[in-house]
């Protein structure tokens, strides 16, 4: 006699019933074959995304703050403009804002990644429906299963 349920380990037991014997009760317990822990994927993905955006923004902000040339001094065709006064103030302000946003994104992304990656236990399913009762007699066999 075998009991099978998707997501559970199969359980089987051999039963012998003598001729003229009464019914014999057989209890088969199916155990879950699924994982016992899970992760919080939406939180993990959000944390990784914010952390990645923070890293990219920090690098871009560092480039804007650290450069000694105005990025506005280049024409669309790649040639340098001439006789244009260079003001690094707006460029460095933009870089500072990007670095500040990057620190904020990384500061939020790291805890979210840690919380999302932490395994949490999966609640076990109720045991009433995963215990079939099998009654075997000389002329018949009966399976009772409560859902």
Q: Looking at residue 115, what is its pLDDT?
A: 94
Per residue in 21-49, pLDDT tens? 666 666 666 565 566 678 899 999 999 99
89: Cα separation from own chain's centroid:
43
List C-alpha distances in Å: 117 to 43, 49, 108, 120.
8, 14, 14, 9
In the 8-state DSSP scheme, what is residue 10? -
pLDDT of the residue at 20: 61
Percent above pLDDT 90 for the chain: 33
Other CB atoms within 10 A of residue 7 CB: 9
Q: According to the model, what pLDDT value does residue 120 have?
A: 87
Residue 49: predicted pLDDT: 97
Mean pLDDT value across the chain: 77
How far lies 55's CA from each of 88, 91, 116, in Å? 23, 19, 19
> What's the Cα-to-Cα distance from 48 to each of 11, 55, 62, 136, rounded to whole Å?
42, 11, 21, 56
Q: What is the pTM assigned to this prediction?
A: 0.55
Helix 41-66 crosses helix 89-117 at what angle (to 10 degrees)? Answer: 160
Q: What is the pLDDT of residues 42-80, one digit of tens each?
A: 999 999 999 999 999 999 999 989 887 776 655 666 566
């Amino acid at each position: 006699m075998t009991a099978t349920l998707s997501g559970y380990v199969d359980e089987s037991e051999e039963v012998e019933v003598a001729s003229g014997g009464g019914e014999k009760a057989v209890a088969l317990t199916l155990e879950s074959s699924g994982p016992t822990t899970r992760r919080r994927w939406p939180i993990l993905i959000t944390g990784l995304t914010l952390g990645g955006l923070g890293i990219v923004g920090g690098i871009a902000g560092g480039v804007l703050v650290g450069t000694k040339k105005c990025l506005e001094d280049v024409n669309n065709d790649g040639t340098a403009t001439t006789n244009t006064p260079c003001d690094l103030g707006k460029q460095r302000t933009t870089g500072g804002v990007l670095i500040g946003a990057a620190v904020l994104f990384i500061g939020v992304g790291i805890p979210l990644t840690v919380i999302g990656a932490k395994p949490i236990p999966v609640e076990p399913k109720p045991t009433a429906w995963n215990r079939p009762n099998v009654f075997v007699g000389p002329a018949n066999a009966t399976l009772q299963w409560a859902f």
